């Protein structure tokens, strides 16, 4: 939270947004929220379009993490790609006017639909964003094995 401490925030907008969320009729919220927002791989869809905007600081009411605004033939889609894409992807591949194919699924989070990308195809590269269960994938090491440097001999003084 504190990286933004020196930035003025629109507290009024935040309060309004939260108030709106809390003011939704209870029945409407319950109906929209079928349990927690589990990623459903059986209902994945594929979007193809053009990145209109890469949103790194989403507005109030939108989940944290990077979003792509993707223009498709049927309209504009807000695509959540999370906070953990490798730098070579965010810095070199994701930019306005780039063609992109997005495989993912919508989830309902506190009454709001969010499209979560599981996979991106952009710049000739296929980028895994989430697991089939919806878990965000972090930057991966070249090696599957950690260096385990054990020095202590348990049971004896060092």
User: Closer to other proteins at the Cβ: 29 or 119?
Assistant: 29
When asked if residue 37 is in the footprint of other proteins (CB under 8 A), the reply is yes
When asked if residue 119 is in the footprint of other proteins (CB under 8 A), the reply is no
Residues 8-17: b if buried by 16+ CB within 10 A, e if exposed: eeeeeeeeee
The closest alpha carbon to 137, from 97, 74, 91, 89, belongs to 89
Q: Which of 51, 80, 94, 102 binds other proteins (CB under 8 A)?
A: 80
Q: Which of 52, 78, 106, 112 binds other proteins (CB under 8 A)?
A: 112
Separation of alpha carbons 109 and 18, rounded Å: 14
Neighbour count for residue 44 (Cβ, 10 Å) = 15
When asked if residue 96 is in the footprint of other proteins (CB under 8 A), the reply is no
CA distances from 7 to 11, 43, 80, 83 (A): 11, 39, 24, 20
The window from 68-76, 92-100, 107-115, 119-127 that contacts other proteins (CB under 8 A) reads: 107-115
When asked if residue 38 is in the footprint of other proteins (CB under 8 A), the reply is yes
When asked if residue 74 is in the footprint of other proteins (CB under 8 A), the reply is no
Helix (H) or strand (E) holding 74: none
Question: Between residue 5 and residue 34, which ones bind other proteins under the rule CB under 8 A?
Answer: 5-9, 11, 14, 17-18, 22, 26, 29-30, 33-34
When asked if residue 144 is in the footprint of other proteins (CB under 8 A), the reply is yes
**DSSP one-letter code for 52:** E
Tell me the number of residues near other proteins by CB under 8 A.
76
When asked if residue 158 is in the footprint of other proteins (CB under 8 A), the reply is yes
When asked if residue 114 is in the footprint of other proteins (CB under 8 A), the reply is yes
The closest alpha carbon to 109, from 60, 65, 63, belongs to 63
């Amino acid at each position: 939270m504190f990286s933004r401490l020196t930035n003025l925030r629109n507290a009024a907008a935040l309060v309004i947004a939260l108030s709106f969320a809390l003011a939704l009729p209870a029945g409407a919220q319950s109906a929209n929220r079928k349990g927690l927002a589990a990623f459903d791989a059986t209902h994945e869809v594929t979007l193809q379009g053009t990145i209109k905007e890469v949103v790194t600081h989403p507005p109030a009411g939108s989940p944290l993490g990077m979003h792509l605004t993707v223009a498709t033939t049927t309209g504009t889609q807000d695509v959540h790609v999370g906070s953990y894409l490798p730098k070579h992807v965010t810095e070199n591949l994701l930019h306005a006017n780039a063609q992109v194919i997005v495989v993912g699924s919508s989830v309902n989070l506190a009454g709001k639909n969010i499209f979560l990308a599981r996979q991106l195809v952009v710049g000739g590269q296929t980028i895994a964003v989430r697991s089939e269960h919806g878990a965000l994938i972090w930057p991966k090491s070249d090696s599957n094995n950690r260096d385990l440097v054990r020095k202590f001999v348990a049971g004896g003084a060092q």
